[in-house]
């Protein structure tokens, strides 16, 4: 049987401190389900599962017939598997990193530069910007979560500044006044005022931030959360538990919380000219994530053939992946990850009559 550009992957787990611990982590559970020999450490965090060819987390190929040991090595020698447009546009590289995150505590505040700014920052400070790539992100909720992306409407921020003196103390009177004034002066003035407010908050000394947060927690406790504006917003209230006391708690009074009814969140890249504006774009063309649900009554499902390399994650169900071009079969269970080369046909035969839940990342140009 000849070797096919469709093969299973063993993917890298990142154990960042903010991840859920042990078997409470969906990342750990997916890992254990796909490999029964995996030993989950109940005292260690399992934060991210990386499915791709990133240099710091290149997936291993689970096919003894393939001489290359990692996905990145294989793609370097089999670039047609990317698809012609992807290959030409991204210089023979897989242009996305597919992840599963299992989050216990708040992640760090992030701003992702666009391609032009990323290249500039990489040249200026490679220790802080280790590569020259832009990093637009798309998050899809597997379980309920809260995410912050962009800024709240200025009217809401001004209300918080009025109702939460500790917040205003860190922003400062001048920046507060500028923001209030900008409400009548158009988007350019508001962007400048937001920049000023955010800069004041993020540049505050850690000692001062801790002092103001302690005052805020004490005041809310004494008021029993009856009249405090912060506690009328669930996002801020959640941030006031002892585990999360840091500057990100106050950033929640600036940042926007998407509706919990939406299961997708798009985090666009930011330009050098206007890095503080809240921008909500449709999905960027670099990547697409498809959610595939197949009822257990279906015995076989044909995976859509694409002119792009893709990575498939089986979240729920048990199947045999059939590759007609080489008459090959690959068993997959929950947590199984499959690389599919461009223009390859794959059939999924349900080996257990239970519903399938699949996510598939690709690049449609």
Q: Is 110 annotated as a binding residue?
A: yes
Mention every residue, 6+ apart, whose C-beta is less than 8 A from residue 360.
Answer: 289, 290, 292, 303, 310, 311, 312, 313
- Look at residue 264 in the predicted model and tell me its pLDDT: 67
- Look at residue 128 in the predicted model and tell me its pLDDT: 81
Instruction: Find the angle CA(85)-CA(91)-CA(97) to the nearest 5 degrees.
Output: 85
- Look at residue 249 in the predicted model and tell me its pLDDT: 63
Q: Is 137 annotated as a binding residue?
A: yes
Q: How many CA atoms are closer than 13 Å to the CA of 21, on its beta-carbon side?
A: 5
Q: Which of 219, 237, 264, 360 is catalytic?
A: 237
- Look at residue 238 in the predicted model and tell me its pLDDT: 39
Contact present, 359 and 313 (Cβ < 8 Å): yes
Cα 258 to Cα 138: distance, rounded to the nearest angstrom: 13
- Look at residue 9 in the predicted model and tell me its pLDDT: 96
Residue with tokens 């910007």: 129
Q: Is 116 annotated as a binding residue?
A: no
Cα 244 to Cα 39: distance, rounded to the nearest angstrom: 30
- Look at residue 149 in the predicted model and tell me its pLDDT: 72
Q: How many CA atoms are closer than 13 Å to the CA of 263, on its beta-carbon side?
A: 8
Instruction: Find the angle CA(252)-CA(166)-CA(153) to the nearest 5 degrees.
Output: 35
Angle, helices 187-202 vs 173-182, to 10°: value is 160
- Look at residue 255 in the predicted model and tell me its pLDDT: 67
Cα 255 to Cα 242: distance, rounded to the nearest angstrom: 20
Beta strands 288-294; 319-323: pairing state: unpaired
What's the chain's Rg over C-alpha atoms? 23
Residue with tokens 């920046």: 175
C-alpha dihedral (27, 115, 263, 8), degrees to nearest 10:
-40
237 catalytic? Reply is: yes
Beta strands 346-350; 300-303: pairing state: antiparallel
pTM of the prediction? 0.80
pLDDT per residue as tens, the chain (365 positions): 456 899 999 999 999 999 999 999 999 999 999 887 889 999 999 999 999 999 899 999 999 889 899 999 999 999 999 999 999 999 999 999 999 999 998 777 777 777 888 888 889 988 888 778 777 777 888 887 777 777 888 898 999 999 899 999 999 999 999 999 999 998 889 889 988 998 999 889 989 998 998 898 888 777 754 444 444 444 444 344 444 445 666 677 776 555 554 566 666 666 555 544 443 444 445 688 999 999 999 999 999 999 999 999 999 999 999 999 888 899 999 999 999 999 999 999 999 999 999 999 999 88
Residue 118, SS3?
Answer: helix
Mention every residue, 6+ apart, whose C-beta is less than 8 A from residue 47.
Answer: 13, 14, 15, 16, 17, 18, 19, 20, 25, 27, 101, 102, 103
């Amino acid at each position: 049987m000849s070797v096919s550009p469709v093969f299973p992957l063993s993917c890298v787990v990142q154990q960042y401190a903010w991840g859920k611990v042990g078997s409470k982590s969906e990342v750990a559970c997916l890992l254990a389900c796909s490999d029964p020999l995996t030993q989950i450490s109940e005292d260690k965090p399992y934060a991210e599962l990386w499915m791709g060819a990133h240099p710091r987390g290149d997936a291993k190929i689970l096919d003894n017939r393939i001489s290359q040991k990692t996905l990145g090595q294989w793609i370097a020698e089999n670039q047609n598997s990317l698809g012609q447009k992807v290959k030409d546009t991204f210089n023979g590289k897989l242009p996305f990193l597919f992840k599963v995150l299992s989050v216990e505590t708040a992640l760090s505040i992030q701003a992702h530069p666009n391609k032009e700014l990323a290249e500039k920052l990489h040249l200026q400070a490679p220790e802080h910007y280790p590569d020259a790539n832009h990093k637009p992100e798309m998050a899809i909720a597997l379980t309920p979560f809260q995410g912050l992306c962009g800024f709240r409407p200025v009217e809401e921020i001004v209300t918080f500044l009025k109702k939460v003196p500790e917040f205003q103390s860190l922003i400062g009177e001048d920046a507060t006044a500028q923001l209030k004034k900008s409400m009548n002066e158009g988007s350019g003035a508001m962007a400048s005022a937001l920049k000023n407010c955010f800069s004041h908050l993020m540049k505050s000394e850690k000692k001062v931030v801790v002092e103001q947060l302690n005052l805020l927690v004490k005041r809310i406790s004494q008021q029993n959360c009856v009249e405090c504006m912060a506690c009328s917003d669930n996002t801020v209230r959640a941030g006031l538990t002892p585990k999360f006391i840091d500057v990100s708690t106050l950033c929640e009074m600036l940042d926007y919380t998407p509706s919990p009814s939406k299961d997708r969140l798009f985090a666009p890249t930011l330009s050098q000219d206007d890095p503080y504006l809240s921008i909500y774009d449709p999905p960027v063309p670099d990547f697409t994530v498809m959610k595939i649900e197949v009822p257990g009554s279906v015995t076989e499902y044909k995976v859509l053939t694409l002119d792009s390399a893709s990575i498939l994650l089986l979240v729920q169900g048990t199947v045999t992946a059939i590759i007609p071009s080489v008459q090959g079969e690959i068993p997959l269970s929950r947590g199984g990850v499959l690389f599919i080369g461009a223009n390859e046909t794959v059939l999924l035969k349900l080996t257990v009559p239970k519903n399938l839940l699949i996510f598939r990342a690709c690049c449609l140009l």
